[in-house]
Amino acid sequence: MPSDPLSTTFAALADPTRRAILSRLTLGETSVMELAEPFDMSLPAISKHLKVLEHAGLISRGREAQWRPCRIAPVSLRAVDGWLGGFRRFWDENFGRLDDYLEELKANQAAKAGSQRTRKPNNKPKPTKEKHRGRKDR
């Protein structure tokens, strides 16, 4: 297991089962049995996932008589969010520039479409050949 807390958190989040468990815990605390229900794995396998999440500080487990509720512990997620914050600013700036560019393109297209509409249409009828049915010109 990685030694620094951020790496430990990312290692725990790398597994889709553990991410699904965390997603379920956002709805509120629950038992190991309830957490295990949607997964096609044994209770010991789920317990191993829970230990990894607990070691990373992503969940906590209580003890209330025979019931051991699991709940999300957002402290480690805050550290991840803080680390990702710099990248978020980078992407926000780039998306902001992209939005500006797209607005400029839309404005240019609207202006171009408007100038094409203001041109005078060619109203002259096109010459056509008329056929006379049943009559021959003599």
pLDDT score of 87: 85
Q: Which phi and psi angles does 60 have, rounded to 5°?
A: -130, 155
Instruction: Convert the pLDDT of each residue in 86-105 to its tens digit.
Output: 888 888 787 888 888 899 89
Q: Smallest Cα–Cα separation from 22: which of 42, 52, 44, 63?
A: 52
pTM: 0.63
The pLDDT tens digits of the residues spanning 102-119 come to 998 998 888 888 777 766
- pLDDT tens-place string over residues 29-62: 999 999 999 999 999 999 999 999 999 999 998 8
In the chain, % of residues over pLDDT 90: 43
Q: Provide the 8-state DSSP code for 56.
A: T
Task: Look up residue 106 and give its two tokens.
Answer: 């839309």
Q: What's the pLDDT band for 85 if we cut at 50, 70, 90? A: confident
